């Protein structure tokens, strides 16, 4: 898995994931993946059943995370992943909200 390189440009993306992604450990899966890729940000459940993921880091790390979001943990059933550019916000780590 990719790690953030010192001095690498930091970018941010917001992902909205739909399907069976709540109550199946999806946010914990995302947290582990993002930490392994050296990304910062958060994952949180939305009231409409989707999960929102905000991640900041290298282009390579964000691209790899984008692919992993389609997989999810064993019991997830991902039906769609929307992705958009986002302003870079400084977080110390990747956490679950």
Q: Is residue 3 part of a domain?
A: no
Q: Is 27 a catalytic residue?
A: yes
Which residues constitute the domain of residue 92? 11-96
Residue 15: Cβ-neighbour burial (10 angstroms; 0-12, 13-18, 19+): buried
Residue 45 bears catalytic tag: yes
Q: Which pTM was predicted?
A: 0.90
Residue 80 belongs to domain with CATH number: 3.30.70.100
What's the total number of domains in the chain?
1
- pLDDT at residue 4, as a whole number: 45
pLDDT of residue 8: 52
Nearest to 51 by CA among 95, 17, 85, 1: 17
Q: Which of 45, 50, 79, 97 is catalytic?
A: 45
Residues of the chain below pLDDT 50: 1-5
34-60: b (≥16 Cβ within 10 Å) or e: bebbbbbbbbebeeeebbbbbbbbbeb
4 in a structural domain = no
> Is 28 domain-assigned?
yes
The CA distance from 58 to 35, in Å, is 13
Would 26 be classed as within a structural domain?
yes
Q: Tokens representing 35?
A: 């930490």
């Amino acid at each position: 898995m990719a790690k953030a390189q010192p001095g690498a440009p930091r970018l941010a993306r917001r992902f909205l994931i739909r399907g069976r992604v709540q109550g199946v450990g999806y946010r914990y899966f995302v947290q582990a993946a993002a930490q392994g890729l050296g990304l910062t940000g958060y994952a949180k459940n939305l009231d409409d059943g989707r999960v929102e993921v905000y991640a900041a880091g290298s282009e390579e790390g964000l691209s790899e995370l984008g692919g992993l979001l389609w997989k999810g943990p064993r019991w997830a059933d991902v039906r769609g992943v929307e992705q958009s550019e986002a302003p870079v916000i400084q977080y110390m780590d990747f956490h679950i909200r």
